[in-house]
């Protein structure tokens, strides 16, 4: 049973997260998410993970936080809004996903999570833990649901009924007990299937999984192979990521702009013309995207996206 001190620590953690700019924060008891193992295995065995073989590896760690942090008892999950109504693109200009508009979110969130972790240790010196932002085999969306932050939409992306789905997840695993939130057990998608029907390449499955081999985000960011010729005309000028399934989601119709200047699209990128995108030099690429998530795609592969995809733009 949690003590009043531990309960107050949970409240303090959430207040700290809010002070650091996080829009969401929930806490769940650590446990083995055994029910997710067969789902991951089936998805990977069908080849729907593309060449991301690592998603089928370390399944034990993926479902068991105790293998990442010995003695794990609590999982803290945060959500940080990155939505903006300002759209980049148009007039033949290559389109990039909102998530890559500003500074690499991994760097932004990791700093904030570590600040929460240090704060916890000041209050509770016996606490040990680690923070993660896409940096370990963790099922972040599953833990977000366990901590009460939302439910997976038909596009498989987590949806929160207050802020929608345009938010980044961060995780802290701790070795101390805390006061826990109730898992989010409801599904508010109803009969809506706008995301499925609106996906340009038909990548969204009926069972809330994605066939990444057809997903524009995967094809332009993660894939090691050349974009399939039959999908290129359907990509609607997108060269890095895709927001289509989130754009059409009713839960994002009233999404509020983020309050994080780090995620704003720099003017020097906003002003690049279509011709300048096609003539982008390696030096310009390195300068413009030095702190961006776009730098994870090499200059050669990014420019390949620009050349192949925009060829079919009207």
Buried b (16+ CB within 10 A) or exposed e, 76-102: bbbbbbbbbeeebbeeebbbbbbbbbb
Whether the Cβ atoms of residue 186 and residue 21 lie closer than 8 Å to each other: no
Task: Give the span between the Cα atoms of 53 and 47, in whole angstroms.
Answer: 9
Whether the Cβ atoms of residue 210 and residue 48 lie closer than 8 Å to each other: yes
Active site residue 134: yes
Nearest CA-CA partner of 78 in 136, 152, 158, 5: 158
Task: Give the span between the Cα atoms of 262 and 264, in whole angstroms.
Answer: 6
Please report which helix (H) or strand (E) contains residue 159, including its range.
strand 158-159
Task: Give the span between the Cα atoms of 113 and 118, in whole angstroms.
Answer: 9
How many Å separate Cα 55 from the centre of its chain? 15
Please report which helix (H) or strand (E) contains residue 77, including its range.
strand 74-81
Q: How many residues are given for the chain?
A: 314
Task: Give the span between the Cα atoms of 178 and 182, in whole angstroms.
Answer: 13
Specify which residues 172 forms β-bridges with.
Answer: 76, 131
For residue 163 the two structure tokens come to 């802020």
Active-site entry in 19, 134, 179, 187? 134
The answer for residues whose C-beta is within 8 angstroms of residue 231's C-beta and 6 or more apart is: 201, 214, 216, 219
Helices then strands, counting H and E runs in the chain, come out as 12, 8
Helix/strand/coil for 174: strand
Residues known to be catalytic: 134
């Amino acid at each position: 049973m949690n003590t009043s001190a531990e309960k107050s620590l949970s409240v303090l953690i959430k207040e700290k997260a809010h002070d650091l700019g996080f829009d969401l924060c929930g806490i769940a008891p650590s446990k083995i998410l055994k029910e997710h193992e067969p789902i991951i295995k089936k998805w990977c065995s069908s080849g729907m993970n593309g060449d991301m073989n690592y998603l089928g590896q370390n399944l034990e760690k993926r479902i068991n936080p105790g293998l990442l942090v010995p003695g794990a008892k609590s999982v803290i999950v945060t959500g940080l809004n990155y939505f903006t109504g300002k759209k980049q693109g148009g007039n033949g200009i290559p389109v990039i996903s909102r998530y890559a508009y500003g500074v690499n979110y991994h760097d932004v969130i990791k700093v904030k999570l570590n600040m929460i972790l240090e704060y916890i240790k000041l209050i509770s010196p016996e606490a040990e833990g680690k923070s993660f932002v896409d940096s370990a085999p963790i099922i972040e969306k599953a833990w977000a649901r366990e901590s009460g932050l939302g439910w997976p939409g038909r596009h498989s992306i987590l949806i929160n009924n207050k802020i929608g789905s345009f938010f980044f997840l961060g995780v802290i695993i701790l070795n101390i007990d805390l006061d826990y939130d109730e898992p989010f057990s409801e599904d508010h998608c109803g009969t809506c299937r706008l995301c499925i029907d609106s996906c340009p390449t038909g990548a969204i499955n009926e069972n809330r999984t994605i066939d990444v081999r057809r997903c524009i985000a995967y094809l332009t960011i993660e894939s090691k192979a050349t974009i399939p010729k039959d999908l290129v005309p359907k990509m609607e000028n997108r060269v890095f990521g895709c927001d289509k399934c989130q754009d059409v989601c009713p839960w994002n119709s009233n999404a509020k702009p983020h309050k994080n200047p780090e995620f704003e699209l720099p003017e020097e990128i906003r002003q690049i013309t279509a011709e300048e995108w096609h003539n982008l030099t390696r030096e310009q690429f390195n300068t413009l995207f030095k702190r961006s998530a776009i730098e994870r795609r090499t200059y050669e592969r990014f420019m390949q996206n620009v050349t192949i995809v925009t060829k079919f733009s009207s």
